[in-house]
Amino acid sequence: MRKNDKNFDRDYLGKALERFTKEVLLQHNIKSCAGDYWIGKTRWECDIVVETADVIILIEVKKKPLTRRARAGSDISLVLDLAQSLLDAQKQAGNHEMQLRKEGYLDLHDNGKIHRIEINGRNIERIALSFTDFGSFHDRMFLEKFLTAVTTLKFTVSDSKYKKQFDKINQAIASLQDQNRFLYPEDGLHHRPYFNCWFFSLPQLMIILDGVNDAEEFRDVLWGIRGMSNGHGDLCYDIRYAERMKTSNPQWYAVMLQMAHNGKTFMTG
pTM of the model: 0.91
pLDDT tens string 120-163: 999 999 999 999 999 888 988 888 889 999 989 899 888 889 99
Taken as a whole, the chain contains a residue count of 269
Q: Where are the domains of the chain?
A: 8-213
Interatomic CA distance for residues 140 and 239, integer angstroms = 13
User: How do residues 171-230 score in pLDDT, each as one tens digit?
Assistant: 999 999 999 989 988 665 556 889 999 999 999 999 999 999 999 999 999 998 988 777
Helix (H, G, I), strand (E, B) or coil at 236: helix
Residue 7, pLDDT score = 54
Give burial (CB, 10 Å; 0-12/13-18/19+) of 7. Answer: exposed
Q: How far apart are CA 158 and CA 107, in angstroms?
A: 43
Assign 203 to helix, strand or coil: helix
- Give residue-wise pLDDT tens across range 68-127: 999 888 889 999 999 999 999 999 999 999 999 999 999 999 999 999 999 999 999 999
* HSE toward the beta carbon, residue 191, CA cutoff 13 A: 4
Query: Please, which residues have CB within 8 angstroms of residue 31's CB and are 6 or more apart in sequence?
Result: 25, 50, 215
Rounded distance between C-alpha atoms, residue 200 and residue 85, angstroms = 11
Digit-coded pLDDT (tens) for 176-191: 999 998 998 866 555 6
Whether 64 shows a pLDDT value over 70: the answer reads: yes
